[in-house]
Amino acid sequence: MPEPIGFIGLGHMGLPIARNLLAKGFPLRVYNRSPDKAKTLVQEGATLVKSSEEVATPGAIVITMLADDAAVESVATDQLAKALGPGGVHISMSTVSPETNAKLDERFARHGVAVVAAPVFGRPEAAAAGKLWVCTSGPQAPKQRVKPVLDVVGQGVFDFGAKVGSANVVKLAGNFMLTAATEAMAEASALAEKNGIPRESLLKMLTQTLFNCPVYTGYAARVINADFENVGFALPLALKDMLLARQTATSTHAPMPYLDILCDRYISAIAKGRSGLDASALAQGAAEDAGLKWGV
C-alpha cells in the first residue's frame, strides 16, 4: 500500500505532480492558498485541508512545491514539523536557495523529521507526463524511502549526496544553463535577421544538427513562434532563480559573469511590462537591442 502523502502547492508544477501521485494510489491530503485549484483533485479522491499543518500524517511524507523561498518558509514551520513528528520526511521540491533548505533541515530535525531536497527539471507538460528529472540530496535512508514517490514524479532520479542543499545548487546551475541557451539563441537569431536570414531558418537548421537536444529544440520553437504568452515558466520566476544563483555564486566566490547579463535581461523585461510572459520572452530584449521588432 502506498504511503500517505501531504502535498502543499498546486501551481503549474504542483498540480500535475499531485495528480500523478493520486493516480498511482498514494492517499493524498492537499493544501493550497487558493482552494479552488484543488477542486479537480478532490473529485479524483484527494482530501483538501484548511491549513498546511493538516496535510501531515504522523511519521509520513509531506511534499512542498511552491514558487519561492518565502512561500516555502511560510508553510514549512515548526507546526508542520510537529505534526509530522519522528520518522516523518519533508520532500522540498521547490526551487529555493541551498541555504533555505539547510535552515529547514535544522528546524525539522528538532522534531525528528528528515528533509530531502528534490528539485526537478522540466516544464508543466513534463510534470503531467511523469517525465521530470529529479535531483536529490539529504540523508540516505529517507532518500531511499521516498524513491517510490519520486519515481512517479520523474523519469530519472540523480543523487547529489548527504548535504541537503546540494540538489538546490544543481537546480540553480541547470536553470542558469537553460536560460543561457535561450539567450544564445536569441542573440544568434538577432544576428541572422539583421543579415536577412529568418530566425526560423537558422534555428531549425541548428536544432536539427549541432544543437539537437530537448533544451534547444523546445526553446527554439518558442523563440521562432514568439510563443511567450503560453506560460510554463513565468518570467519573474526565472529572474528569481538567476538571483538565487548569483547569491549562491557570490557567497562561495564563484565568478559567473554571464549570469549578470541574464539577470539584467530579465530585469529589463519586467521593467517593460512583460511579467506575465514566459521566461523565453527574454528573446525580445536581444531583438530590441538589434533594432528589430520581435515577438508580442
HSE-up (13 A, CA, CB side) for residue 292: 23
Q: Are residues 206 and 119 in the same domain?
A: no
First to last CA, the chain: 50
What is the reported pLDDT for 294? 64
Asked if residue 35 lies in contact with residue 43, where contact means CB atoms within 8 angstroms, the answer is no
**Looking at 127, 147, 162, which one is the last position of a domain?**
162
Per the structure, the complete domain to which residue 32 belongs is given by 5-162
The reply to whether 295 falls in a domain is: no
Question: How many C-beta atoms lie closer than 10 Å to residue 186's C-beta?
Answer: 27
pLDDT at 293: 79
**Distance between CA atoms of residues 118 and 87, nearest Å:** 18
CB neighbours of 50 closer than 8 A, spacing ≥ 6? Answer: 31
Instruction: Give residue-wise pLDDT tens across range 143-197.
Output: 999 999 999 999 999 999 999 999 999 999 999 999 999 999 999 999 999 999 9
Q: Say how far residue 258 (Cα) sits from the centre of its chain.
A: 21
Among 106, 129, 162, give the residue marking a domain's end.
162
Residue 211 lies in a domain: yes
In a domain, residue 285? The reply is yes
The answer on 183 and 143 residing in a single domain is no
Whether pLDDT at 295 is above 60: no
Tell me the average pLDDT of the chain. Answer: 96
pLDDT computed for residue 25 by the predictor? 96
Domain boundary among 106, 140, 162: 162
Q: Is the pLDDT of residue 296 over 50?
A: no
- Work out the average pLDDT over 202-215: 97
- Pair 100, 244 in one domain: no
The answer to whether position 128 is within a domain reads yes
Predicted local distance difference test score (pLDDT) of residue 23: 96
CA separation for the pair 127, 106 (Å, rounded): 29
Q: Which three cell numbers, joined as nine digits, stand for 91?
A: 520532500
CATH number at residue 108: 3.40.50.720
Q: At residue 281, does pLDDT exceed 50?
A: yes
38 contacts 61 by C-beta, under 8 angstroms: no
| pLDDT at residue 1 in the model | 75
Q: Domain containing 175 — which CATH number?
A: 1.10.1040.10
Q: Is residue 296 part of a domain?
A: no
Read off the C-alpha cell for 9: 502547492
Domain assignment present for 146: yes
Domain count, the chain: 2
Residues 6 or more apart whose CB falls under 8 angstroms from that of 264 comprise: none
Place of cell 529544440: 217
Kindly report, residue by residue over 55-114, the tens digit of the pLDDT. 999 999 999 999 999 999 999 999 999 999 999 999 999 999 999 999 999 999 999 999
Mean pLDDT of 111-122: 98
The amino acid present at 115, given as its one-letter code, is V
The mean per-residue pLDDT over the stretch 34-53 comes to: 94
Nearest Cα to Cα of residue 93 among 174, 7, 155: 7
Annotated catalytic sites, by residue? 171
